[in-house]
């Protein structure tokens, strides 16, 4: 009887000690056509206005969380998250309890979680000129996604994006720095970090090559 009791307790302990499941990574291929990553910031009354008076000016938009990053197009396994769009910026709704169920246009079943708020870009005090348009995501070159650069670089399109305070935009604006990158299947990425690539692509403007700051701030593609 005692042995049976100890065995039962041991099994129960094993169940309790089992690690909690973690969210599965979603495998992304170019065929998914996610499009550029969407940068989402936190709500700021200084930037977006007092929510009680201004929330009707904001547009609710559904984004899709894929491996901790947000996109406009869904793929299998992506989590829908409802945010607001206002003056070319995407941002999470206020965390004020009074906001809950206040906006009838908003689907509160898709409201952000604490994890979303924890990864959001914080408000920055400088103003972004509306002429910049929405911020875009720029990634490191990945041969797994873009192919071997010597064989595939002609499939890529050299484009100029504009860096402003460490962020990238498709349109120019005051104080912006032009940076030459590639676009392929709706993704923007830096050129290969290979000395042999320098001067290899005659279509590329090497006077606007990304600098070390660019390479240090961009991320790898999920």
pLDDT, tens digit (0-9, with 9 covering 90-100), for 62-74: 999 988 889 888 8
pLDDT band at 22 (very low <50, low <70, confident <90, very high): very low
Average confidence (pLDDT) over 48-71: 93
Q: Is 188 exposed, middle or buried (0-12, 13-18, 19+ CB in 10 A)?
A: buried
**H or E segment at 55?**
none
Q: Indicate whether 10 pLDDT > 70.
A: no
Note the pTM of the prediction, 2 decimals. Answer: 0.58
* Average predicted confidence (pLDDT) for the chain: 83
- φ/ψ (deg, to 5) at 119: -100, -5
Closest by alpha carbon to 174, among 127, 129, 124?
129
């Amino acid at each position: 009887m005692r042995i049976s009791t100890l065995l039962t307790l041991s099994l129960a302990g094993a169940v309790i000690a089992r690690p909690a499941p973690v969210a599965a990574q979603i495998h992304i291929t170019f065929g998914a056509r996610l499009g550029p990553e969407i940068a989402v910031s936190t709500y700021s009354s200084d930037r977006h206005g007092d929510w009680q008076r201004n929330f009707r000016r904001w547009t609710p938009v559904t984004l899709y969380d894929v491996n901790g990053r947000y996109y406009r197009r869904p793929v299998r396994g992506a989590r829908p998250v409802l945010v607001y769009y206002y003056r070319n910026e995407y941002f999470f709704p206020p965390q004020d309890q009074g906001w809950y169920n206040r906006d009838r246009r908003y689907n509160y079943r898709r409201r952000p979680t604490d994890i979303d708020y924890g990864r959001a870009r914080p408000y920055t005090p400088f103003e972004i000129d509306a002429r910049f348009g929405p911020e875009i995501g720029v990634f490191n070159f990945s041969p797994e996604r873009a192919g071997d650069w010597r064989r595939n670089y002609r499939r890529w399109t050299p484009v100029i994006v504009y860096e402003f305070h460490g962020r990238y935009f498709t349109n120019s604006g005051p104080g912006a720095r032009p940076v030459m990158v590639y676009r392929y299947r709706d993704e923007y990425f830096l050129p290969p970090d290979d000395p042999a690539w320098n001067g290899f692509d005659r279509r590329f403007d090497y006077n606007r090559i990304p600098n070390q700051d660019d390479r240090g701030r961009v991320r790898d593609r999920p």
